A and B are shown apart, each in its own frame.
Chain A
């Protein structure tokens, strides 16, 4: 194997894929932390109480549910609507 094009290196390719996936995860954690902080945190205290912690866990689950719901419904409306520009039901 020539060390000519670094991009031809399969080791580097895999590295890029793995790191990209890690970054997508990190980015979502950043985003959900921000959103859920707004939803669940009142006044920051000396520790995280269980009610607030439960809220965070629920928040993450519902956020992902929302994301999936949106994708599924969009896919549905694309399918039933076809290519015509009818108004959206509901």
Chain B
């Protein structure tokens, strides 16, 4: 209750702190969205290349199944790469 009061007070320090917090949260959300978009864009590119031969009039069943599997494998790949890179970074830091 007290912090609420001070946040909405006209004190510069109080409202400054609240703005900073809000900004940080908004930025985090925007970063997360940008990352998701990037992931989706690359996944779409890769899976289109792997699964679609000569583009027909629709996406047939086998193409859809392929795309679904491809999406899962791409996520697996992303996680594997992320883990491997993280391990490498830890190892490099331990050396210093």
- Chain A interfacial positions (CB closer than 8 Å to B): 1-4, 6, 9, 11-12, 15, 19, 22-23, 25-26, 28-30, 32-34, 36-37, 41, 43-48, 53, 56-57, 59-61, 64
**Chain B interface, number of residues (Cβ within 8 angstroms):** 38
- Is there contact, CB below 8 Å, between A60 and B84? yes
- Is there contact, CB below 8 Å, between A60 and B85? yes
- Is there contact, CB below 8 Å, between B81 and A32? yes
CA distance A3 to B20 in the complex (A): 9
- Chain B interfacial positions (CB closer than 8 Å to A): 12-17, 19-20, 23-24, 27-28, 31, 35, 38-39, 42, 46-47, 50-51, 66, 69-70, 72-74, 76-78, 80-82, 84-86, 88-89
Q: When A15-B24, A30-B38 are in contact, do A48 and B81 touch as well, CB less than 8 Å?
A: no
- Is there contact, CB below 8 Å, between A45 and B88? no
Q: Is the interface of B mostly helix, strand, loop or mixed?
A: helix
CA distance A11 to B78 in the complex (A): 31
- Is there contact, CB below 8 Å, between A3 and B15? yes
- Is there contact, CB below 8 Å, between A29 and B77? no
Q: Which residues of A contact B46 (CB under 8 A)?
A: 34, 37
Q: When A9-B20, A15-B24, A64-B88 are in contact, do A33 and B42 touch as well, CB less than 8 Å?
A: yes
CA distance A31 to B66 in the complex (A): 23
